Amino acid sequence: MIPFSSQTQTNIEFAADLFRNSKHTVILSGAGLSTPSGIPDFRSTGTGLWSRDEPLEVASLGTFRTHPEKFFAWFRPLAGQIYYAQPNPAHHSLAELERRGYIKAVITQNIDTLHQKAGSKIVIEMHGSMQTLTCSQCYHQVQAEPYLTPFVASGEIPLCPKCGQILKPDVILFGEQLPQAAWSKAQKEARQCDLMLVVGSSLEVLPVAGLPMQALDRGAHLIIINNTPTYLNVRADVTILEDVAMILPAIMERVLHG
């Protein structure tokens, strides 16, 4: 058993009580959930992706269209980290809580599919995923794995097997709209839940960052687990500023075994 401070232990117990008393719990996860799996987040000082690169210069739809080689040069290290990453104890804890009926849906900002690899079944991907690629010219869609291996290994830019044009990873870049179906599902879940757990998200990217407010406005409880404070910490029932890979298993254990 990992030793926690008395305050953290109290917060873990309170969070577990909220889980047990909830009838419709929804998770909102961000990049901080996957950093223990070796995938960098975006905004951490010194280690976040945006501390080294200007997002609009490397990760925008405009850059992909006009300078795809620049986009792929930036994307290659991240693609490798995602490709080889495995779920961490936080992902497995959420999957087990879903399996036991304590979680109704996971809304994620992540593109790494680690929720699914851990066993979560109902996952709403707000920023797309690395599972597929789509041709920028003829819109033919392919499974990503056969193209990711040579791309990660040698930097070979993926090309459409039908028309030979560049394949775009099915992730949302700056300048793109969120997938409408996913956004509609996410809003529905936020408005129906009586408990939302925000985990590993700084809640800085709109419109997804507004989903907890939709839940709060309808009387839901809110738990936030993140390394740094968010704009909604003052509204949360429980806030825990510690490692998600340690805290979520502790909450799961308390929910399942008291």
pLDDT of residue 50: 41
Contact 112, 34 (CB under 8 A): yes
127 annotated active-site:
yes
- Tens digits of residue pLDDT in 169-201: 999 998 899 999 999 999 999 999 999 999 999
Where do the domains of the chain lie, and which CATH numbers do they carry? 1-39+87-127+177-258 (3.40.50.1220), 45-84+130-171 (3.30.1600.10)
pLDDT tier, 112 (very low <50, low <70, confident <90, very high otherwise): very high
Q: What is the pLDDT of residues 132-145, one digit of tens each?
A: 999 999 999 999 99
pLDDT of amino acid 258:
79
**Distance between terminal CA atoms of the chain?**
14
| Res. 45 pLDDT band, cuts 50 70 90 | very low
Q: How far apart are CA 160 and CA 167, in angstroms?
A: 6
SS3 readout for 75-113 = HHHHHHHHHHCCCCHHHHHHHHHHHCCCCCEEEECCCCC
253 and 97 Cβ atoms separated by less than 8 Å? no
Q: Which tokens is 126 given?
A: 């707000």
Q: What is the model's pLDDT at position 58?
A: 75
Q: Which H or E element spans position 181? A: helix 180-192
* Strand 25-29 to 195-199 pairing: parallel
Q: What is the mean pLDDT of residues 147-169?
A: 95
Question: Per-residue b/e over 7-45, b at no fewer than 16 CB within 10 Å?
Answer: ebeebbebbbebbeebeebbbbbbbbbbbbbebbbbbbe
Q: What is the pLDDT of residue 93?
A: 98
Statement: residue 2 has pLDDT above 70: no
| Residue 49 CB coordination number (10 Å) | 19
Decide: residue 181, CB within 10 A, 0-12 exposed, 13-18 middle, 19+ buried: exposed
* pTM beyond cutoff 0.85: yes
Q: Which amino acid is at 71?
A: F
Instruction: Specify the pLDDT at position 56.
Output: 58
The lowest-confidence range among 1-10, 184-193, 210-219 is 1-10
Which residue of the set 91, 115, 127, 221 is catalytic? 127
pLDDT band for position 16 (cuts 50, 70, 90): very high
Q: Is 165 exposed, middle or buried (0-12, 13-18, 19+ CB in 10 A)?
A: middle
Going by pLDDT thresholds of 50, 70 and 90, the confidence category of residue 57 is confident
The predicted-structure confidence for 215-246, as pLDDT tens digits, reads as follows 999 999 999 999 999 999 999 999 999 999 99
pLDDT of residue 44: 46
- Specify the higher pLDDT residue, 205 or 112: 112
